[in-house]
A and B are shown apart, each in its own frame.
Chain A
Amino acid sequence: MSRAWLVTLATVVLLPVFVRHTIATEIWIFAIFGLGLNLLMGYTGLLSFGQATFFGAAAYAVGYLLKHYAINVVLALAIGVAVGAASAALVGYLCVQRSGLYFIMLTFALNQMFYFTAYQWTTVTGGEDGMPGVPRPEVLGLDIHAPLAYYTVVALLFVLALWIMRRIVESPLGKILQSIRDNELRAEALGYNVPRMKLVAFVLGGAFAGLAGVLYAMLFGIVPLEAIGFVFSGNVVFATLIGGSGSLYGPVIGSFVFIWLSESVSAIWARWPLLLGVAFVVVVLFLRGGVVEAWARYRAWRHASG
C-alpha cells in the first residue's frame, strides 16, 4: 500500500478527533465532488464550470424521493449516482461539440438553466427556500443520525470513491483522457473518438458529483438552492486548482483546505474569501499544480540541499 493511501486513511480516522464532525463530513463530500471534476479538468483538460448541475440535480431528485417515498439509503445513493451521470450525459453531449471558451460558457449556461428551473419549480424544489426535511434513514439497520455515525458512512464512501477514481486514472481510459488534454488532434489521429471519450469523462465526473450531492442533502437535511448554483460550481473548481488539478489527491487536499478555511476562518473573519482569492492568484501565477506541486517542489529542494 502506498504512502499516500496510508496518509489518507490516517486522516480519515483522525479527522473527527480534531474537527467538528459535520465539517469533517463535508470535507469528504466535497472531496468526492472534486474527484469527479478533476477527471474532467485535470485529466481531460475540460474546464467545466457547471459541476453543480449534476450535484444539485442528484440532491433534489433523491431528496424528493427520500422525503416523499422514504426510499432506503442504498437505493438513494444508487439513484443519486445515476441522476448525476444522466444529467452529465445530457449536458456533456451538448458541451463536447465545442471546445475552449465556448465549451466553458456552455457548461456555465446550462448550469444557469438548471438553476433557474430549480428556482422556479417551487412545488418540488422549494425555490429560494430550498428543499428542507430530507431525512437520513437507517443504513442496513444501523441508525446514522449521530454525526460520527454519518461521518463513518461518508468517509467509507469517500475511500471507495478515491479507490475507484484511482482505478480509472490508471486504466487505459485515464491515459487516453490525458492524451486528449495534451493534444486532441493527435489523439483523434491515433484512433480515439475524442468527443465520445470526453463524454465518458463527463458521465463519470457527473456520477461522482451525484454521489456527493446525495450525501450533502442527507448531511444537512436540506437541499439549498445554492447546491445547484454557479458559485458552487466555481467553488469546486477553486478547491481543485488549489489542491492541484491533474493529480489524484489534488482535489482531496483542495477540499480539505477549502472547507476547513471556509468553516474555521469565516468564524473569525467575515471577509475570508479574500484569503481564498489570494491563494487562487498565487496558484494560478506561480504554482499551476497547486499544493501537490508545492509539496513536490519542497521535497526536491530538501533533497537537493541535502
Chain B
Amino acid sequence: MPLVRTERLTKSFGALVAVDAVTFAVDEGSLHSVIGPNGAGKTTLFNLLTGQLAPTSGRIVFDGRDIAGTPPHGIARLGIARSFQRTSIFPTLSILDNVWLAAFARQRSWRGLAWRRADRYSEVAERAMAVLGEVGLEEKAGEPAGAISHGEQRQLELAIGLAAAPRLLLLDEPAAGLSPEETKRMVTLVSKLKGRYTIILIEHKIDVVMSMSDRISVMHFGSLIAEGAPAEIQRSPEVRRAYLGGFAAP
C-alpha cells in the first residue's frame, strides 16, 4: 500500500520541463531513493512534494488525498517533513530551539500559543531532546545553531526533520559536503531510521544508495527512466548509459 504516489507529475519553467510526467509510488515503511545526474529534477520533485512549488499538472496523492497545490505549511502539518540540500536552519536560535520549533509545529493543539511559556510544553521539549540524542547533538543543545560545524549542522538538519515525527521524511542529500568520516556517521544515522519512517532519499553517493534502499527511481532530464530494487537498477543498461557510467559490475 503506497503512502504517497504521484500521477504524471509535471513542472515546467517556461520551455524547461524540470519534472516531466513523473509517476511513482512509495510504500509505507520503505526507503525509496531517487538518483540521477545533477539537474535531473530531483530537488524540484521534492519541492513539488513539499509544496514549495505548485505542479504545472499532475497529482500528488498522500494517504489517499490529493495534496498538489497545498502550501508548504499545510503539507508539513499533514506529516511530511524534509531536510534541505543546502543547510536550512535557524542560525541565531539555539540547537534545542531549532528542533523544538519542528516538534511544536506538529502538536495537535497550539493552545497557549502566545501566552504560555515555551518551556512549559514538556512533551515538546522531551521530543526535541530525544531527537538531539539520536543524532548526537544533545550536549550542544544550548549553543546557537550558527556556531557549530558544517557536519554538525547537517546532523541538525536531519534532526529538524525527525523532530516533526513525520509520516513521510524527505532527505535531500543528507551527506552533502561531508568528509568521508562524517559521511560514514550520517549513513549510520540514516540506516537506523530505516523501517521506522517512510523515507524518500536523494543521494549522489551510489554505494550508499545501493546498500540502503528498498527501491530506487532514476531520473534523467526530468523523466523517470527506471525504477526497481537496487540490483535491478545496477543491471539496467539504460541507467548505466545515463548515469552510472562504468560503475556497475560486469
Contacts and interface: CB of A to CB of B under 8 A. Distances in A.
Nearest to A200: B114
A85 to B, nearest CB: 13
A191 B77 contact: yes
B90 A189 contact: no
Given A172-B112, A179-B90, A191 B76 contact: yes
B190 to A, nearest CB: 19
A168 to B, nearest CB: 6
A252 interface: no
Contacts, number: 96
A171 interface: yes
Contact of B93 (A182, A188, A192): A182
A192 B104 CA distance: 10
Given A179-B90, A179-B101, A191 B114 contact: no
A186 B76 CA distance: 11
Interface in A119-175: 167-168, 170-175
A181 B92 CA distance: 9
Interface residues of A, number: 26
Contact of B101 (A167, A168, A190): A190
Chain A CB within 10 A, most for which of B52, B106, B118 = B118
Contact of A172 (B72, B82, B116): B116
A192 B177 CA distance: 29
A89 to B, nearest CB: 15
A272 B115 CA distance: 41
Nearest to A182: B90
Given A172-B121, A190-B160, A191-B77, A167 B115 contact: yes
A194 interface: yes
Nearest to B90: A182
Contacts of A179: 90, 93, 97, 101
A278 B242 CA distance: 62
- SS of B interface (majority): loop
Interface string B82-104: 10100011111100010011101
A176 interface: yes
Given A182-B93, A194-B73, A171 B113 contact: yes
Interface residues of B, number: 35
Say whether chain A's binding surface is mostly helix, strand, loop, or mixed.
Answer: helix
A185 interface: yes
Contacts of B178: none
A173 B100 CA distance: 12
Interface in B59-91: 71-73, 76-77, 81-82, 84, 88-91
Contacts of B105: 190-192
B164 interface: yes
A35 to B, nearest CB: 14
A305 interface: no
A187 B101 contact: yes
A189 B121 contact: no
A183 B88 contact: yes
A242 to B, nearest CB: 20
Interface in A190-214: 190-194, 200, 204
Interface in A258-282: none
Contacts of B84: 186, 189
Given A185-B88, A193-B73, A168 B93 contact: no
Contact of A182 (B72, B82, B92): B92
Nearest to A180: B90
B117 interface: yes
A168 B114 CA distance: 5
A178 interface: yes
A182 B91 contact: yes
B110 interface: yes
A189 B50 contact: yes
Contacts of A183: 88-91
A171 B117 contact: yes
A189 B52 contact: yes
Contacts of B77: 191
B89 A186 contact: yes
A189 B102 CA distance: 9
B113 to A, nearest CB: 5
B89 to A, nearest CB: 7
Contacts of A186: 84, 88-90, 160
A173 B114 CA distance: 5
Contacts of A178: 90, 92-93, 97
Given A170-B119, A174-B118, A182-B93, 14 more contacts: A171-B113, A171-B116, A171-B117, A172-B112, A172-B116, A178-B93, A179-B97, A182-B91, A182-B92, A186-B90, A188-B71, A188-B73, A188-B76, A191-B106
- Top 7 nearest A-B pairs by Cβ distance? A191-B76, A191-B105, A182-B90, A173-B114, A190-B105, A186-B88, A191-B77
21 contacts: A168-B114, A171-B113, A171-B115, A172-B104, A172-B112, A173-B114, A175-B97, A175-B101, A178-B90, A182-B92, A185-B88, A186-B84, A186-B160, A187-B101, A188-B71, A188-B73, A189-B52, A191-B76, A191-B77, A192-B101, A204-B114
